[in-house]
Structure formats: structure tokens, C-alpha cells
């Protein structure tokens, strides 16, 4: 076992991991069960988490690559008393059906929006491109895309209120 230190959802973690263990395995072993294991080969993105500022398929990332990093999983999106705007929009738009892909969609969308200027709304095709690797068998993608566009609009309004 090898020791590693990282922050998950803002909390310090000190883990012992196997050399070949993936970040997904380590997260789930430490009770972060939001990221899902589906393909395990980087093809579906149900296991998406954000490492630093980048969304990654955690089933393909060796856990040790996250040593010293900040990791955000779907469990870290909501505030103490309220859902993240993306989570609220997914509910409002009925963008989650069986829900198995939803943590991955939320984390990919979160990273996409976080790395953009909130004053500039994304186009539908930009959102579709950002989510292209996330596989969903239920929704037909229309609702998740709609939810991300709604969130972008809400974040733009919030940013303009904050800037007076
Ligand atoms: S479970 Fe990681 S990409 Fe499918
Ligand atoms: S909601 Fe079922 S796989 Fe996406």
C-alpha cells in the first residue's frame, strides 16, 4: 500500500492505496459512491469527477495521480442547505431518468460551466460537444442539454447581479 494525501470535496484525506488502484476504486472504497462504475474503460463517463479544474474519467486514472490534488465528486456539489444550480436544473428539466449516468453528467457539466466566462452563454452545440463522451441510455440527451443551458442562464444572471 502507498500513502497519498488529497482533498475530496474540500476535506483532507489520507489514504492507503494499491499501486494499480484507480481513483474510482479508491473513492468508492472511501465511501464516495456518487461516481459510478459502468464500463471501466473510459467509454461512458459515468465515473466522471473533477480533479483540479479538469473533469476526468476516474475509472481510468490511477489514484496516485490525484495525490496532492483537489477532487470534486457529485457529493461535493450541493451546499449545506441547497442544491447546486445544475442539480436543481436537472430536477426541473427531468434530465435524470434511471439516474445512473447523472453523476457523470453533472460533473462534466459542472466543469464545463466552471471553466467558462459566465457572462457568455454557451450554445446548444457547445454543450452537446462538452457532454459528447457521457453516455445515457434513457434521456435522449435533450433534457440534460436543456438543464445545462438553463443553469448557464441562471449563472449569467447571478454574475450580472453580483457585478451590479
Ligand atoms: S465507468 Fe469510467 S468511463 Fe465508464
Ligand atoms: S438517465 Fe438512465 S442512463 Fe442516463
Q: What is the pTM of this model?
A: 0.96
Which SS3 state, helix, strand or coil, does residue 11 take?
strand
Residues 99, 35: one domain? no
Query: Which residues 6+ apart lie within 8 Å of 145 measured at CB?
Result: 124, 127, 128, 131
Residues 152, 89: one domain? yes
Contact 40 CB / ligand 1 (< 6 Å): yes
Report the domain count for the chain: 2
The Cα 48–Cα 136 span in angstroms is 13
Residues 93, 28: one domain? no
Cell matching residue 99: 439516474
Residues 71, 106: one domain? no
Q: For the chain, what percent of residues have pLDDT higher than 90? A: 95
Which SS3 state, helix, strand or coil, does residue 54 take?
strand
Cell matching residue 27: 473513492
pLDDT in tens, 99-157: 999 999 999 999 999 999 999 999 999 999 999 999 999 999 999 999 999 999 999 99
Q: Kindly give the distance from the C-alpha atom of residue 16 to the centroid of ligand 1, in angstroms, as a whole number.
A: 23
- Taking CB atoms and a 6 Å cutoff, what residues make up the pocket around ligand 2? 96-101, 136-139
Range of the domain at 143: 85-163
Amino acid at each position: 500500500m502507498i500513502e497519498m494525501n488529497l482533498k475530496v470535496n474540500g476535506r483532507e484525506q489520507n489514504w492507503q492505496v494499491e499501486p494499480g488502484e484507480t481513483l474510482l476504486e479508491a473513492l468508492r472504497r472511501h465511501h464516495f459512491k456518487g461516481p459510478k462504475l459502468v464500463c471501466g474503460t473510459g467509454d461512458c463517463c459515468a465515473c466522471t469527477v473533477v480533479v483540479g479544474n479538469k473533469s476526468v474519467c476516474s475509472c481510468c486514472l490511477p489514484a496516485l495521480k490525484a495525490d496532492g490534488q483537489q477532487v470534486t465528486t457529485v457529493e461535493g456539489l450541493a451546499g449545506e442547505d441547497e442544491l447546486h444550480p445544475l442539480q436543481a436544473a436537472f430536477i426541473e428539466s427531468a434530465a435524470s431518468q434511471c439516474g445512473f449516468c447523472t453523476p457523470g453528467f453533472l460533473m462534466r457539466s459542472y466543469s464545463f460551466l466552471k471553466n467558462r466566462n459566465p457572462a457568455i452563454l454557451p450554445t446548444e452545440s457547445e454543450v452537446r460537444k462538452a457532454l459528447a463522451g457521457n453516455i445515457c441510455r434513457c434521456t435522449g440527451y435533450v433534457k440534460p442539454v436543456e438543464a445545462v443551458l438553463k443553469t448557464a442562464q441562471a449563472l449569467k444572471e447571478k454574475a450580472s447581479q453580483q457585478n451590479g
